Structure 1
Amino acid sequence: MARPNPSAAGAPLALLIVAGAIIGGMLHQPLLGAVIGAAAGIMIAVVVWLRDRSKIGH
């Protein structure tokens, strides 16, 4: 049986970090925005990873 291709979560992670830094920069808190963006991106990456894991039966 063929193994399903895993989904990638790197793009949402990178985009959320950059978007968070930009939005944080508009609010004069670019580091805080980047940290919040990174946290949101990590949460999405974990969800994608767990979903992929369940597809292959682990």
Structure 2
Amino acid sequence: MVNDTSDSSRPPARAGGVFMALGTLGGTIIGGFLGQPSIGFLAGLGGGFALHGALWYMDRRKR
């Protein structure tokens, strides 16, 4: 039997890394269609990072 010492009253943290991954992929694809895949990559990464940070901040405030 496993001894669980974690605080079970706190809800589990939500994963926001998917925004960074999908933003990077989506930005690269859209940027590729527009002829600027590098700029699309950076814009998607920045947008995904912003969404990830917002989700982290909202999740942190609920604790």
Who is 1:10 aligned against?
17
Q: TM-score with structure 2 length normalisation?
A: 0.84
In structure 1, the gaps of 5 or more residues are none
- Provide, for residues 1-58 of structure 1, a one-character-per-residue CA deviation record: whole Å limited to 9, x for no partner: 61111110111210010000000001110000010000100100010000011011xx
What's the counterpart of residue 54 of structure 2? 47
- Partner residue, 1:20: 27
| TM-score (norm: length of structure 1) | 0.91
Structure 2: any 5+ residue segments left out of the alignment?
Answer: 1-7
The structure where helix makes up a greater share of residues is 1
Runs of 4+ in 1 over 3 A off after TM superposition: none
Structure 2 residue identity aligned to 1:54: R
1:31-42 maps to which residues of 2 (within 5 A)? Answer: 31-42=38-49
Bigger Rg, which one = 2
